[in-house]
Chains A and B, each alone.
Chain A
Amino acid sequence: MLELAIGIILAGCGIGAGLALIAGIGPGIGEGNAVAKACEAIGRQPESKGAVTSTMIMGCAIAETTGLYGLVVGILLIFVAPGIFTGVLQRTLEAMNYIPH
């Protein structure tokens, strides 16, 4: 039983990490839009290339934040969460005087 429970924990963490990285879609679309508009602006006014590029990179880096939230959550789910959840499970079972068989 305990093995099954731990297996479910690991599977849940893995699936959760995969789902968390869906957050990458939003920044991808957003940054693509930003770069497209920057290209348009440079095409219209080639002399303002420097200012447009630096503003675009700054905006891209800020728009990336939501994607990075997903990344951080995914990394936590893979490297940190299984240990914590397994520990909680074992402590609960110990408190219940459960003997694995």
Chain B
Amino acid sequence: MTKEKKNKLIDIALLVMMILPFVLCMVLKVLTTPASEGIAISGALIYFEIPMPLMPLYITEVQVTSLAVIISITALCLYLTHGIKVIPDSKRQLVAEYIVEKVNFLIKDNMGSRYMAFAPFIAAIMGISAFSSLSALLGLFPPTSDMNIVAGWGILVFIIITHYKLKGGLFPYVKGFFEPIPVFAPFNIIGEISTPVSMSFRHYGNVLSGVVISTLVGSALGGLSEMLLGWLPGFLGDIPFLRVGIPAVLSVYFDLFSGLMQAFIFAMLTMLYVATGFPEEEYEKRQAKKKKKALSAAQ
């Protein structure tokens, strides 16, 4: 087998890996959705439960879809970077370079060049958030309209923020809560806790509102078409013609614009919180002290 043929085979395998998870998710959803009258607003379908000591662990549509999103993004990254060369000769390498450059520029612009190691993390958050919200376009239940997923990201970001705040030492971190006067301590603590809550609620609420409004409009159009076009003979009267295509107009705002916007804002807020929470002076003082201690220990 020649090398070119091998490369082409790998490309095809990666493309299949990119698309297949979503197709499988759609098939699974079609097979497991219970037959019901009309449209109902409900949470994610529960596929099966794993018994646990405190409460059963539910494996829902959301976990499956987000796993599909992760596999798909991995395949996309592998596809874009497959067979890269020093002098790019393929379009996909240019796309990959464009993405990396844009993210690096964003980090440098918003956080400063000290945080360049954050670029992969921010790009990953943006990618998974955008892909999760966009999976609604395929008729799947978007993982971001489930609180569990977004709360997980919020907690992850909160841990990173706290880790960066603690880099200046424990005492300055605790002292930060008693500023400007000790009376403000409860408010400061509430403000600290509300960071992940507000971040996850913002994302969750935006996507969920789109799902709820789309469902309401869809059911309303179904009723309207039954009223207007119900006189058509035979099975033609049963088909809700008005529901074909018209709800997709709403999708442009709620799924495309809102989903991408929230992905960008989530990443932006992560960058801002990490960059502003980092105590630069205290960190440098602490580093200098450590260096001195190491020097005196060596002597």
Contacts and interface: CB of A to CB of B under 8 A. Distances in A.
Interface of A: 57-58, 61-62, 64-65, 68-69, 71-72, 75, 79
> Taking chain A's interface residues, is the majority helix, strand, or loop, or is none over half, making it mixed?
helix
Contacts of B209: 68, 71
B205 A71 contact: yes
Given A75-B208, A75-B212, A79-B41, A68 B201 contact: yes
Interface string B255-269: 000000110110011
Contacts of A68: 201-202, 205-206, 209
A72 B261 contact: no
23 contacts: A57-B261, A58-B264, A58-B265, A61-B202, A61-B206, A61-B261, A61-B262, A61-B265, A62-B202, A62-B269, A64-B202, A65-B198, A65-B201, A69-B201, A69-B205, A71-B205, A71-B208, A72-B201, A72-B204, A72-B205, A72-B208, A75-B212, A79-B41
Q: Which 10 A-B pairs have the closest CB atoms?
A: A68-B205, A65-B202, A72-B205, A61-B265, A71-B205, A61-B261, A71-B209, A65-B198, A72-B201, A68-B202
A64 B206 contact: yes
Contacts of B41: 79
A61 B206 CA distance: 9
Interface residues of B, number: 16
Nearest to A72: B205
Interface of B: 41, 198, 201-202, 204-206, 208-209, 212, 261-262, 264-265, 268-269
